[in-house]
Structure 1
Amino acid sequence: MSLLEAVHGPRDLRALSAPQLAELADEIRTFLVGSVSRTGGHLGPNLGVVEMTIALHRVFDSPHDPIIFDTGHQSYVHKILTGRQEGFPGLRQKGGLTGYPCRAESPHDWVENSHATTSLSWAEGLAKAYRLRGEDRTVVAVIGDGALTGGMAWEALNNIAVGADLKLIVVVNDNGRSYTPTVGGIASHLSTLRTDRRYEPTLKQIKQRVRSAPVVGGALYDLLHGFKTGVKDILAPQGMFSDLGIKYVGPIDGHDIGMMERAFESAKNFGGPVIIHCMTVKGKGFRAAEEDEADRFHAVGLIDSETGEPLTASPRRTWTDAFREAIVDIARADANVVGITAAMLHPVGLDAMARAFPDRVFDVGIAEQHAVTSAAGLSRGGLHPVVALYATFLNRAFDQVLMDVALHGQGVTFVLDRAGITGPDGASHHGMWDTSLMALVPGAHVAAPRDERRLVDALRTAVGVDDAPTVVRYSKDPLPPELPAIRSHGGVDVLASPADARVLLVAHGPFAHLAVEAADRMGAQGIPCAVVDPVWALPVNPALVELCGAAELVVTLEDGGVSGGLGAALALACQRAGVWTPLRHLAIPQEFLDHASRAEILGELGLTADDVARAIVDWALESTAAKVARTAVAEGPRAGA
């Protein structure tokens, strides 16, 4: 039996010798590469935290001592060591293990933490709760150097510093990367941090001499503080943390289990907040991942477990590919266009623009709030920023969109990748909230292009709007074929227009294709259905309201939340215009949806061509019956009846 097979929980680790622990680390890496290469998932981050996670579970008593991972994609080793090895064949698949901590899976998972920079706030709150309740528990937060580029982490550190008696340990996993090499001043500081054992003795001598000096009052404090700062800067440049009042330890080798155990034990016994700075190698033990500068192994699909090469055929052209090319052409034509992203330069497709115009693309780190308000400032300065994010991450900066961009009438374009149902990363990563949020923003313009041509048109239109926020959102799916319009009705694209159409189906984005398929099925059942794409969902086009007034039934179909999306906005516009045509909505329910493939989730939600056609046929029959009933009531009893 291998060592890994004998580990069913953290307690099984504590009887192992140092050589056995090293052997176990090797077995875990072999297991990870073999397993994740067959399912896909976050490989690089987990290969980098093997020894760290072993040390954590040998020193701390999980789940009594909570261990919180930020963002949580590096929790696979934690799952393995807490008895979930057998579930890895179903990792990120419907009904299987999630790719992040999950409270339903194990009591060892405290927070389903899959958005970055939040772990320290969770940990600070938990530690305060235990202090108030008189419980002797230590809280551990594991945060990457990339997440320390986010403002929320520093808000938490500011408050952690106030709690001198909080039993809280912050483990900084410093691998120099988030998705790509970490950027910003924090990253630069971490890369040069060193400790020196001369610091504490030297400071003690200075304190003794200052106390004996003939200086009193505030001057004594100023002099002491000046000495302390000077010595600290010379001997141990860790002032960023110690000035907050938090004990700093490190940097230490994050792949040396013994060294980390000693640091963790000391921190646990300290009785107050401690930061332990660990240096690790992302992708350690898998040569292809260690040597990959583009960080392609942060998250992988199906790959060869030896070479790291993809096993699936080259994917079809994606929406991100189309954006990557289009934004370079737009930037070349307009020198005022600049790009901003939050630590996702390559994933969102701004890398090509950064190569072509390096002075006009800004990666601000994992700091979406700063990205948006910085964009407002760039706009105020006469430029047009294009902020490229995953759709789910716009949630984090809603106040800035509302109060810094929209309130000030600034022209900022938001390009939202991975909009709608995304699939295996689960509830936190479905991009289904942005349309509901943007519907609350006065003056916002929102488009969901149905194909590449419409994407390019939408981007060109968006960067020409200089007095309001614009949003262009698209799916994670490959690009669909072009879907030309039959004609335009006041800016609304008509995609299908059978004679005597009684039903109007309004759809945009990838669901425009779904709507055309559903309309074909309805036509085969004798219910002609027209299909239109509003092109821009917000603001609602009066021409679309006019089309609704001419139909017997209107159905909206969208890859976003049902509350506040296209359907809700259209219903309100019709009401204000006095158009009372029955209107039904087909969209994503405002629920936290589990992980599964996109197709599986859409099938469960009834958002397939067959399901849509079936639902509309039922509604059309109900509408016809209601119309007949209303007519009978209006005409009253016939003469002679």
Structure 2
Amino acid sequence: MGQRILDAISSPADLKLLTDDELAILATEIREEIVTVAAENGGHVASSLGAVEIILAVHSLIDCPSDKFVFDVGHQAYAHKLVTGRLEQFSGLRTYEGLSGFPKPEESPCDVHPSGHASDSLSVALGLAEARDLDHGREKVVALIGDAALSGGMAFEALNHIGQVQTPMVVILNDNEFSISRNVGAMVKHLGYMRATTQYRTARDSVQERLESSGPLGTALADFGRNVKESLKQFILPRTMIFEQLGILCTAPIDGHDIGALKETLRMVLDADAPVLMHVVTKKGAGYAPAMRNPEKFHGVAPFDIATGEVKKKPASAPSYMNVFGEALVREARRDEDIIAITAAMKDGTGLSAFAEEFPERFIDSGIAEEHAVGLASGLAKGGKKPVVAIYSTFLQRAIDQIIINNALPDLNVVFAIDRAGVVGEDGPTHHGMFDLAFMRMIPHMRVLAPSNEAELVHALHTALALGGPFAVRYPRGAGEGVAVPHEPEVLVVGKANVVRKGDDVAILAFGRMVGRALGAAELLAERGIEARVVDMRWVKPLDAKAVSRAAKTKLVVTVEGGVIAGGAGEGVLGELARQGLQAPVLNLGIQDTFVPQGKTDLLLRDLGLDAEGIAASIEERLARSR
């Protein structure tokens, strides 16, 4: 194979030396590299393929890292990584000790912030622009945000502020009609109407002609603004021009795969003395046919066969917790017509596809708006329904206030199904579900269940729906433990744990998926003459006070959880011991005061000392010190 242009790119500055035709060739090479690496490692393929030309156009016109290029979510950033000096490391994308799948400032000064959650880019970009203005700087600030992320409340708040302060910055709206599941909401309809209207396209062409024939930049931009703002409103209802009404100049839609058109428009708007929203229309998965046919599948995909696009099959294993939850909720909904399922743009990712198909009138996708989803649930509960809010742990963090004020304070019948709890693997620190145990157990009225296997998950969901009140049920990503799912779920006794292994030397109080690893540690300890009792605590809140007091009679009380130790279940056990006036040596195991990088879950748990060997070693060390 001959020398690629990509191989000669060591920094964004190199892009300035390329013609538009050479940039187009480079875009093809970048897509081939992304597909090749993602086929081995998995990743966010469709969104990154769709944004290649945008990223090349921006980097060819700004001076990164002095100028700032801010990504929203970061799913789109693979091309950015490839042209900012990380080509040699790119084969390690999303792997243990390799490159993060998201922008990460520790990797490159061109990565402005550790993006991973939607809708924050505009706030970050505005902050950078305001800091620049206070220092009388001249840096360019460009934010890239997808149409789905734009539906988030934080993005709307930022747009309102941007329109108010009128500081120069460029917002590139990557309009590809998809988020993870197909986008929903009024904003999408607004963008779709703009794309589809013949008069709008005619006006767009007129704008392009005006730009091409204009004189000095100032006059061109003034004409550009008047043309968009006035002539388009003759054809489209004024209320559809939401960005203009917020005080932000908005371009007509631009082909996001046309390097020349992108650079031409971007060159103009970068010199504007006011905020500009550049509306760019792209195709998710562009350049790779399987991803274009099925962008939802290739949003975040496991390793796949390049020729067919089919995910590489793994050896048969137990069903995933996600699917067990989804099937259990369908069975519950058949028995109770008041059950409503809610998710935030994650129908497939939370296992709710079957529910949505069978009960479409009882399924709600709020879009990327977790705060709204949780607030909506409170209203449904007030109206006599039983909402089940299924959201990844890392994203539920965005709605803590609504959980507390709208749901827990009035003591409503709402179930929070917390998916992807604990360490989740290759998506890294922005996606690990490290904090839900801590923030859920602090909330009055909230009861928290951490099932240890798929059967326990079915019982936990049934218990939450049967007993009512605010409930949290948290479960991990990936395959279950291979335990048979019960046909008839049970209502668990509130605050009662389950002893799964007897032993009187040490008591291991384990929560959720850590129960299996605690059992493995107990077997290792037994080989060394230490008999460990393993207790599946089931309830994080309320704790089983009797199980805690019995544990205090052993040589060492050990707590093991898959979240942060600070404020977590282990500290709850310490508090319970204090309330009972009991004194006992305690070892809290969990995630220390650190963020966890990306990598295979087993490797990360090993590094955290939360695999069977690590738990056993920590217990032995503590016992040795006690002697």
Q: Same fold (TM over 0.5)?
A: yes
| Contact 1:49 1:254 (8 Å CA) reproduced | yes
1:29 aligns with 2:34: no
Distance 1:198 1:512, change over 3 A: closer
- Structure 1 residue 399, shift from structure 2 partner: 1.0
Distance 1:381 1:439, change over 3 A: same
2:210: which partner in 1? none
SS of 1:476's partner is: coil
| Contact 1:503 1:620 (8 Å CA) reproduced | no
SS of 2:466's partner is: coil
Distance 1:471 1:306, change over 3 A: same
| Contact 1:163 1:273 (8 Å CA) reproduced | no
Deviations 1:443-488 (A, max 9, x none): 2111111111111000001112333x2111111131113399xx99
Q: How does 1:585-624 map to 2 (within 5 A)?
A: 585-623=588-626
Cα distance in 2 between the residues matched to 1:438 and 1:106 = 35
- Structure 1 residue 230, shift from structure 2 partner: 11
2:489: which partner in 1? none
Deviations 1:142-172 (A, max 9, x none): 00001011100000001000122x1211100
Instruction: Specify the code of the residue in structure 1 equivalent to 2:570.
Output: G
Deviations 1:238-290 (A, max 9, x none): 42111101100021111111111111111112111000111100001111111
Distance 1:314 1:142, change over 3 A: farther
| Contact 1:389 1:416 (8 Å CA) reproduced | yes
Cα distance in 2 between the residues matched to 1:560 and 1:472 = 14
- Structure 1 residue 412, shift from structure 2 partner: 1.1
Instruction: Specify the code of the residue in structure 2 equivalent to 1:503.
Output: V
Cα distance in 2 between the residues matched to 1:3 and 1:362 = 47
Instruction: Specify the code of the residue in structure 1 equivalent to 2:537.
Output: P
Instruction: Specify the code of the residue in structure 2 equivalent to 1:552.
Output: K
- Structure 1 residue 546, shift from structure 2 partner: 3.4
Q: How does 1:137-148 map to 2 (within 5 A)?
A: 137-148=139-150
2:111: which partner in 1? 109
Cα distance in 1 between the residues matched to 2:230 and 2:268 = 25
Cα distance in 2 between the residues matched to 1:351 and 1:528 = 45
Cα distance in 1 between the residues matched to 2:100 and 2:231 = 49
Cα distance in 2 between the residues matched to 1:112 and 1:126 = 15
| Contact 2:495 2:543 (8 Å CA) reproduced | no
1:528: which partner in 2? 531
Distance 1:281 1:490, change over 3 A: closer
Cα distance in 2 between the residues matched to 1:253 and 1:280 = 7
SS of 1:458's partner is: helix
- Structure 1 residue 313, shift from structure 2 partner: 2.1
1:124: which partner in 2? 126
Distance 1:483 1:448, change over 3 A: farther
1:364: which partner in 2? 366
SS of 1:29's partner is: helix
Cα distance in 2 between the residues matched to 1:179 and 1:5 = 32
Cα distance in 1 between the residues matched to 2:40 and 2:5 = 22
| Contact 2:441 2:447 (8 Å CA) reproduced | no
| Contact 1:247 1:275 (8 Å CA) reproduced | yes
| Contact 1:423 1:598 (8 Å CA) reproduced | yes
Equivalent position to 1:279, from 278, 281, 290: 281
Cα distance in 2 between the residues matched to 1:4 and 1:287 = 22
Matched residue count: 592
SS of 2:508's partner is: strand
Distance 1:367 1:235, change over 3 A: closer
Q: How does 1:342-491 map to 2 (within 5 A)?
A: 342-467=344-469, 469-482=470-483, 491=496
2:544: which partner in 1? 541
Distance 1:196 1:354, change over 3 A: closer
Q: How does 1:231-310 map to 2 (within 5 A)?
A: 232=233, 234-235=235-236, 238-292=240-294, 295-310=296-311
Structure 1 segments (4+ residues) deviating >4 Å: 196-199, 228-231, 235-238, 487-490
Cα distance in 1 between the residues matched to 2:349 and 2:232 = 43
- Structure 1 residue 618, shift from structure 2 partner: 3.2
2:223: which partner in 1? none
2:5: which partner in 1? 3
- Structure 1 residue 17, shift from structure 2 partner: 2.3
Cα distance in 1 between the residues matched to 2:308 and 2:201 = 41
Cα distance in 2 between the residues matched to 1:545 and 1:352 = 40
| Contact 1:483 1:513 (8 Å CA) reproduced | no
Cα distance in 1 between the residues matched to 2:93 and 2:232 = 50
Deviations 1:334-384 (A, max 9, x none): 111111111111011111100010011111011111111111111111111
Cα distance in 1 between the residues matched to 2:527 and 2:108 = 50
| Contact 1:548 1:579 (8 Å CA) reproduced | no
Instruction: Specify the code of the residue in structure 2 equivalent to 1:616.
Output: I
| TM-score of the two chains, using structure 2 as the length reference | 0.90
2:66: which partner in 1? 64
Deviations 1:595-632 (A, max 9, x none): 22211111111112122122223333444x4xxxxxxx
1:493 aligns with 2:498: yes
User: Structure 1 residues 521-530 or 320-329, which shifts more?
Assistant: 521-530
Instruction: Specify the code of the residue in structure 2 equivalent to 1:569.
Output: G
Distance 1:108 1:490, change over 3 A: closer
- Structure 1 residue 229, shift from structure 2 partner: 9.1
2:553: which partner in 1? 550
Equivalent position to 2:84, from 82, 85, 91: 82
Instruction: Specify the code of the residue in structure 1 equivalent to 2:235.
Output: I
Instruction: Specify the code of the residue in structure 2 equivalent to 1:296.
Output: K
- Structure 1 residue 541, shift from structure 2 partner: 2.2
| Contact 1:72 1:113 (8 Å CA) reproduced | yes
1:638: which partner in 2? none
Distance 1:102 1:525, change over 3 A: same
- For structure 2, which runs of at least 5 residues remain unmatched after alignment? 208-228, 486-491
Deviations 1:296-322 (A, max 9, x none): 111222211121112242663211111
Cα distance in 2 between the residues matched to 1:177 and 1:490 = 43
State percent identity of aligned pairs.
39
2:175: which partner in 1? 174
- For structure 1, which runs of at least 5 residues remain unmatched after alignment? 203-227, 626-641
1:511 aligns with 2:514: yes
Cα distance in 1 between the residues matched to 2:467 and 2:401 = 21
Distance 1:253 1:572, change over 3 A: same
- Structure 1 residue 545, shift from structure 2 partner: 3.0
| Contact 1:490 1:543 (8 Å CA) reproduced | no
Instruction: Specify the code of the residue in structure 1 equivalent to 2:612.
Output: A
Cα distance in 1 between the residues matched to 2:531 and 2:426 = 37
Distance 1:43 1:579, change over 3 A: same
Q: How does 1:164-243 map to 2 (within 5 A)?
A: 164=166, 166-193=167-194, 195=200, 232=233, 234-235=235-236, 238-243=240-245
Distance 1:377 1:112, change over 3 A: same
Cα distance in 2 between the residues matched to 1:28 and 1:161 = 35
SS of 1:274's partner is: strand
